[in-house]
């Protein structure tokens, strides 16, 4: 075992819809593994729209695997599905904690598992949708998160370092100790960065090496959505402009006025940090937009590390008119088996 580094050496009511062909559904449930449709792709690519279209046509229900959607009151800046969209098909794991609460990977994994089991029990088709890689993998690949008891002393020291030197510096140290984890954890996700460092410091082993993985418990059908990078960036820019037009700054002011601290991990999400700076007079609105667009581009590239176009287990589709028809056909073919 390598020598443990020390903290000091470092200086966290649904309408009726068309049902799936009952023969296909019956055959799929006769498998040893029940089906799970996974829809992945970068932010702003169009996952929400496609998932709703497919779920309506295939008697499906949607489980969100986007960690930004967990928080109540954080709607505009997370591009949360609208009430109208969520009324079309059942959605789960959205608005389940307050901004000052945390939802661990292990708790999310258990909640998602229970929901998927319930969807199967009602003979519906579950769609897992989102771009948060570790949450998706935890569900689909049977991850076993490291069972390391929180060390409040170590965590407190790391929090202190974060306050003194910034989250970027802390993430850079993670990159030195565990490059694989740093590659897959967004630097702005301070809670995950601190947790990874905490595990490393208390066990002397890389965080990435302690993530147990087993066979997927599901007959997994993975659909990836893609757009040309420039088109995707344009959609990101348009979405950000729409967020500010919809009252993003006011949403952040409301959160702060409700007593949620700007230093909360949830408030470090892309956009919220920038809007806090606007409220505090450190950035103009236009400067915040520029920073948010830059950070989102970095996030898009990081998402590509989780879901690669070269992955043979992902069926990639370019988003265009009629793509839902092609994706539905692919899913039905994967669910249909010889008698």
Lowest mean pLDDT among 6-20, 35-49, 87-101, 266-280: 6-20
* pLDDT of 16: 39
Mark whether 303 and 237 lie in a shared domain.
yes
Q: The CATH number of the domain where 124 resides is what? A: 3.40.50.300
More confident residue, 241 or 216: 241
Q: What is the mean pLDDT of residues 126-144?
A: 85
Specify if 1 maps to a domain: no
Q: Is residue 20 situated within a structural domain?
A: no
- Same domain for 102 and 220: yes
Mean pLDDT in residue range 127-135: 87
CA distance 58 to 168: 44
Instruction: Please give the tally of structural domains in the chain.
Output: 2
Q: Are residues 107 and 182 in the same domain?
A: no
Question: What does each C-alpha distance from 275 to 115, 208, 263 come to in angstroms?
Answer: 34, 33, 13
What CATH number is given to the structural domain containing 182?
1.10.20.140
Co-location of 151 and 138 in the same domain: no
Provide the pLDDT for residue 104: 83
Residue 39: phi and psi, rounded to 5, are -115, 120
Mark whether 133 and 159 lie in a shared domain. no
- Give pLDDT, residue 4: 54
Residues 226 and 292 in one domain: yes
178, 323: one domain: no
Do residue 116 and residue 252 come from a single domain?
yes
User: Do both 159 and 37 map to the same domain?
Assistant: no
Q: Is the pLDDT of residue 84 over 90?
A: yes
pLDDT in tens, 26-65: 544 545 789 999 999 999 999 999 999 999 999 999 999 9
Q: Are residues 231 and 135 in the same domain?
A: yes
Instruction: Please check the confidence at residue 271 and state whether its pLDDT lies above 60.
Output: yes
**Within-domain flag for 292:** yes
* pLDDT given at position 130: 86
**Does any domain span residue 19?**
no
Indicate whether 239 and 110 sit together in one domain. yes
- Helices of type H across 31-166: 47-57, 83-86, 105-121, 133-140, 152-165
Minimum mean pLDDT among 70-84, 121-135, 195-209, 263-277: which range?
A: 195-209
SS3 state of residue 294: helix
pLDDT at 292 over 60: yes
Which has more pLDDT, 322 or 22? 322
CA–CA distance, 189 with 29 (Å, rounded to integer): 38
Q: Domain ends where: 210, 233, 253?
A: 210
Question: Do residues 267 and 132 share a domain?
Answer: yes
**Which residues span the domain enclosing 68?**
31-144+213-335
The fraction of the chain above a pLDDT of 70, given in percent, is 86
| Domain's final residue, options 210, 233, 257 | 210
**Position 178 pLDDT exceeds 90:** no
Please check whether residue 56 lies inside any domain of the structure.
Answer: yes
- 262 domain residue, yes or no: yes
What local confidence, expressed as pLDDT, does residue 18 receive?
Answer: 43
> Closest Cα to residue 134, out of 96, 167, 171, 104?
104
Q: What is the pTM of this model?
A: 0.76
**Is residue 283, in this structure, part of any structural domain at all?**
yes
Confidence of residue 103 (pLDDT cuts 50, 70, 90): confident
Give the pLDDT confidence score for residue 10 in this predicted structure.
Answer: 46
112-121, 298-307, 322-331: which range is least confident on average?
298-307
CB 128 within 8 A of CB 37: yes
Flag the least confident range among 13-17, 66-70, 202-206: 13-17
Which domain-ending residue is among 176, 210, 244? 210
pLDDT at 306 over 50: yes
Mean of all residue pLDDT scores within the chain: 86
Name the band, by pLDDT with cuts 50, 70 and 90, for residue 101: very high
- 327 found inside a domain: yes
């Amino acid at each position: 075992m390598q020598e443990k580094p020390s903290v000091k050496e470092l200086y966290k009511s649904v309408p009726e819809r068309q049902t799936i062909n009952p023969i296909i559904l019956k055959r799929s449930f006769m498998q040893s593994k029940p089906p799970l449709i996974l829809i992945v792709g970068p932010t702003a690519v169009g996952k929400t729209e496609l998932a709703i279209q497919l779920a309506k046509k295939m008697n499906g229900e949607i489980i969100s695997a986007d960690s930004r959607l967990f928080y109540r009151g954080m709607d505009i800046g997370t591009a949360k599905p609208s009430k109208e969209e969520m009324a079309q098909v059942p959605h789960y794991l959205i608005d389940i904690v307050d901004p000052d609460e945390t939802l661990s990977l292990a708790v999310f994994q258990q909640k998602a598992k229970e929901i998927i089991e319930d969807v199967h029990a009602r003979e519906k088709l579950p769609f897992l949708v989102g771009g948060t890689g570790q949450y998706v993998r935890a569900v689909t690949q049977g991850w076993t998160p490291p069972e390391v008891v929180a060390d409040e002393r170590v965590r407190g020291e790391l929090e202190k370092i974060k306050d003194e030197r910034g989250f970027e510096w802390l993430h850079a140290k993670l990159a030195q100790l565990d490059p694989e984890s740093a590659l897959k954890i967004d630097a702005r996700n301070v809670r995950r960065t601190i947790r990874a460092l905490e595990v490393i410091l208390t066990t002397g082993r890389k965080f990435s090496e302690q993530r147990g993985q087993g066979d997927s418990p599901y007959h997994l059908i993975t659909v990836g959505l893609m757009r040309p990078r420039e088109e995707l960036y344009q959609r990101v820019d348009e979405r950000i402009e729409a967020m500010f037009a919809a009252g993003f700054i006011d949403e952040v002011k409301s959160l702060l006025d409700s007593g949620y601290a700007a230093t909360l991990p949830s408030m470090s999400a892309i956009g919220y940090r920038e809007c806090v700076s606007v409220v505090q007079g450190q950035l103009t609105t236009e400067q915040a937009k520029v920073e948010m667009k830059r950070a989102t581009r970095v996030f898009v590239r990081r998402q590509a590390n989780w879901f690669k176009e070269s992955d043979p287990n992902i069926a990639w589709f370019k988003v265009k008119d009629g793509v839902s028809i092609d994706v539905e056909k692919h899913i039905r073919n994967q669910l249909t088996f010889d008698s």
